[in-house]
Chain A
């Protein structure tokens, strides 16, 4: 079908430039997972409710499942795989590990990305700020308690040792 003719896009992902052919209907998370091999971006819903696929697009937090891959043309993406440097966990990731801000791990990449985006804008969030910032990310396991503690801990870590 002519409607599925592939287009070439250029996109920077975690600092690396890719030139890839995609069908217009290909969703961004499937592109990241299946074509680029970055499987940390998860898919948990259809209409953008769960947030497991959350990434940074040109520095802004978005749900990748509500974008077609073609819309990422010319843009810069950071996925969960882009946070740790040389195996050293990003302070936000470290805080999630220490405070048990996860159980099954499926929502975790999206949660970490949302927490990271929050702390970039608000270094000292209140519990209410945290709850508001994570409202687009569902977790079925934790009841959010330890996730919220993880974000508080991450803020402390970032105060002590700012990270890019």
Chain B
């Protein structure tokens, strides 16, 4: 394989259609006779449903079907508690809509389908639901109190799960410590608010019992399983057009709506489209989990961390279906970049009357990085050491790679000290110390920080067995995804990917890989879209989640292209009477060495393999198509946890040091980011512009989260942030410029040395901002524990410090 295209920013495959408005999103699709659906949602945070009546809505001209809770119970089955509900101590049936109680504002209760959106929305006003309001349980501290109103009476407590896990000798570490450094930290609820809300079309062919859905879901498996479980259908086709942003937001709760829309299609006998509106998305499409951490570090006086112990309280909202995801994900970056050997973690999942939590850009990983990087700063402060030195002394060294962490993760490669040192140098750390002195003399609050974190990639569901050893069935292990590649009869190459694309340039990146394997320019490769479960070679990793693409899709495309190349050479060698091992592809033709005439164009080859049996070598399959399903070949050891509970939570480990310079407006509390620099190791960079885009985007999100975007509920459980404005999404004017420096350490375990780049910069950036703001406020003695650092919160911290 030549590396002509890998590593260069080739022309985008997706760009032209998006820049001209020819992207193909779900809402762009129109089917004959299609109805429009609208969903009625609970205005209450907590209430019992005493009755429901849609008869008036059904009488409105143009309304074709309606669903109330009793219909949902009659015509569908509850979802099975899945992997995300691991730890649930009693099975709790969850239907697509609320059936007996509503447990969060915005929970779907009923739905209608009508000839147009306006009529459907008019019809919602005609559905009556009788609610008996119940006390709303909003804060975890209240939810845990005995006597508090219960979300699920059958669990007898709002503490839906408790568990713990220890690696190493944690007690020994704390006994041996010179000092115990403690801190209490909080991360708030936020989301990635993809610009395209949920969008679904369902079409049911009753005669053949086949259901087809078009949906902007990130994980086809979730939709596939949900429809099978809820509707007991076998013949299901999931088509995933262009997705207008995912970030985890479109993995889980979207299944409810796929079932609701499918039920409307089945009941009305017509295709039904539903497009979520922004406020619905904000209240009910899922939030990241508010997490509270009690952290203790056992340290030596030189800053060496002997052990880390933390208790986490997760505010999981009003559903048990994603009970433990923010806790289980802590195993993914549990040791961060540090060589600590002893770690103990304890998790509590607490139900509240708020939107259920969902996977969102790193899930629990930003929280884990926040724990480490905040406690590192605290250790430095208490030991009067430089925060850089404290990190440095604890970093895993490059010569230790591949490195097995105490929980069993195997870090593939990386030079963390160099990432940190480069960030320190490039941000001008020493100069900043001087500049800060001068700024402080003038009363200005200038602050800076350097933090570090890993970005894991790949998938291993068996991870959960480390936390839930009582699990009877394995939730699966490792990952699988496929790709199919085909030489068309005109000599072009068609590629069928095993997963949908929500903005990571799947088409561009995979065409580079196939181009290099086949020695064909990427513009001769056409990628088939949309994702279609009937056609795509998809496995469990067919998902825009867990940074799967770089590992499984790239591996599968590489494998399929390699297989195809071998087949091309086998057939061409026979036709040309040449040695297959000597053949080369060049300029759209297969060439034999040394002979200018011994060549066969790919178009001629196409004609032979699809139409000229006599020219095919004996015993060789006709056609030129190859499918390859990739599994990570280095998934052992620790793919499935043993008695020691060591497990590979993910398989590749990118890393980055983030440096931030901020200034705090003393009077208003407003934080301005003056510089933001990332020194990253994403392994072999296949497409620099694509990888940079992922880093810029995830950094901007993490910074925005740290500085104010987020959800706010009042004490009645009413969500107050129903628009992007109230939620505080950053525009071009609030988003700082980010500088990126690449310091790649190719992974020894992956096809091209590639590692993940997706969630990446959203993981350390909240910690980087918190650290820089604390540094700025040091003269006032302010400690940063909770996010977000909205102007008012910072102003309050300054005021409290002055008192």
Using CB atoms and an 8 Å cutoff, list the residues of chain A in contact with chain B: 4, 23, 25-26, 30, 33-34, 38-47, 49-50, 52, 79-81, 83-84, 89, 93-94, 96-109, 112, 130-132, 134-148
Contacts and interface: CB of A to CB of B under 8 A. Distances in A.
A103 B698 CA distance: 12
Contact of B195 (A81, A107, A143): A107
B244 A46 contact: no
28 contacts: A39-B27, A42-B27, A42-B244, A43-B275, A44-B278, A45-B723, A46-B277, A46-B723, A79-B21, A96-B19, A97-B16, A99-B689, A100-B15, A100-B505, A101-B19, A102-B15, A103-B503, A103-B505, A106-B23, A108-B18, A135-B732, A137-B731, A138-B195, A140-B192, A141-B693, A144-B700, A145-B737, A146-B693
A43 B278 CA distance: 9
B247 interface: yes
Contact of A106 (B245, B278, B696): B245
Contacts of A30: 117
Band of interface residues on B: 35 or more
Given A89-B16, A130-B732, A100 B725 contact: no
Contacts of A81: 20-22
Contacts of B30: 34
A140 B699 contact: no
Main secondary structure of the interface of B (DSSP, over half): loop
Contacts of A97: 11-12, 15-16, 19
Given A96-B19, A104-B195, A144 B732 contact: yes
Nearest to B703: A143
A164 to B, nearest CB: 17
B22 A40 contact: yes
Nearest to A84: B20
Contacts of A135: 731-733
Interface string B165-207: 0000000000000000000000000001111110000000000
Contacts, number: 189
Given A50-B724, A100-B9, A104-B195, A141 B697 contact: yes
A49 B725 contact: yes
Given A136-B731, A140-B193, A146-B692, 13 more contacts: A49-B278, A80-B21, A97-B16, A97-B19, A130-B732, A135-B733, A137-B731, A137-B732, A140-B192, A141-B693, A142-B697, A142-B700, A144-B700
B93 to A, nearest CB: 33
Contacts of B504: 103
B18 A138 contact: no
B470 interface: no
A133 B282 CA distance: 26
A82 B275 CA distance: 26
B19 A93 contact: yes
B701 interface: yes
Given A98-B11, A140-B195, A41 B21 contact: yes
A146 B28 contact: no
Contacts of A34: 30
Contacts of B689: 99-100, 146
Contacts of B278: 44-47, 49-50
Interface in B266-309: 275, 277-279
A138 B610 CA distance: 49
Contacts of B221: none
Nearest to A132: B733
Nearest to B733: A135
B25 interface: yes
Contacts of B243: 104
Interface in B658-709: 689-690, 692-694, 696-701
